[in-house]
Amino acid sequence: MSAFRPRRARSSRLRPVRLLKLDGVYRADNIDSLISRWREPYRLMLSVPWPAFLLLIAMAYLGTNVLFALLYLLDPRGIGGLPEGQVAGFSDAFFFSVQTLGSIGYGVLHPVSPVVNGLVTLQAFLSLVFTAVTTGLVFARFSRSRAEIRFSQVATVQPWDGMPCLTFRIANVHHNNLVSAKVQAYLAIDERSTEGETMRRLHRLELVRGQAFLFQLMWTVMHPIGPESPLHGLGQAQLREAHGEVLVAFEGIDETVRSPVYKRTTYGTSQIRFDETFVDIVRDDRSEFRCLDFSHFNDTRQR
């Protein structure tokens, strides 16, 4: 494979863009509408924050009770247990629905007509489904791994064994054991064909150590910028001109809960620092053990 060289043509007309956001999510317009998200309720209920999740469950719970309260009012005399001569109103029907849906059974309000008995049977069945679905969603959210992976805010181009290397750090914040960990890195850059067409291309960056059987604390990831590297011969000015961007993906398995862990990030041109090196975070406390000082996790210095 020959070293990559971006073509210089009409680059000034192209606005600097990034393929991924800072949190590693792809940038895309007019593809994921709100309606399309509601078509996949399971994915939606797992991806929303906890306050939104609880709000959606509460809305479904209240909406179900309101709906059945209105159905019960089709036969207001079918709800027994009210004072003599009183007909069930909306509040009576609503709280009767709440008792039915929750299988509370206080015994005060009870069905006395075939219509209301039929509706109670239907609501009791829906109660089983609602409880099962809600329990499954809560369990799925709690069972997901809480491993937190943190990438360094910047990447550097620094020498290692006489060869420049693209370097960035990954930290396992919770210090739980992650097994079968793997990191992949790609260079996203604008290429221009001889016909004048511009295309965003991805080039894989080979890493010195892209896999680790156990990841506990910190990982320094390096890509040697040799003659075969897509970054060979490209400085910060050339990367900026071609809208260069380094995309990084991490995956591993949380040993505690046996669930996969994924994390993505991106380094734009302004986050790639040439002729700088990361500050050493290993601190010697003159004891039997050494300490990692993560307060300098993102710090760099001039070579």
Task: Give pTM, 2 decimals.
Answer: 0.61
pLDDT, tens digit, 9 for 90 and up, residues 223-252:
999 999 999 988 888 898 888 999 999 999
- CB contact at 8 A, 241 and 8: yes
**Domain ranges for the chain:** 34-143, 146-302
Domain covering 34-143, topology: Helix Hairpins (1.10.287)
Q: Does position 290 have pLDDT exceeding 90, yes or no?
A: no
State the pairing for strand pair 79-80/218-224: unpaired
For 10-61, give the secondary structure using H, E and C: CHHHCCCCCCECCCCCECCCCCCCHHHHHCCHHHHHHHCCHHHHHHHHHHHH
Domain covering 146-302, topology: Immunoglobulin-like (2.60.40)
State the pairing for strand pair 198-205/282-284: unpaired
pLDDT of residue 114: 94
pLDDT of residue 182: 95
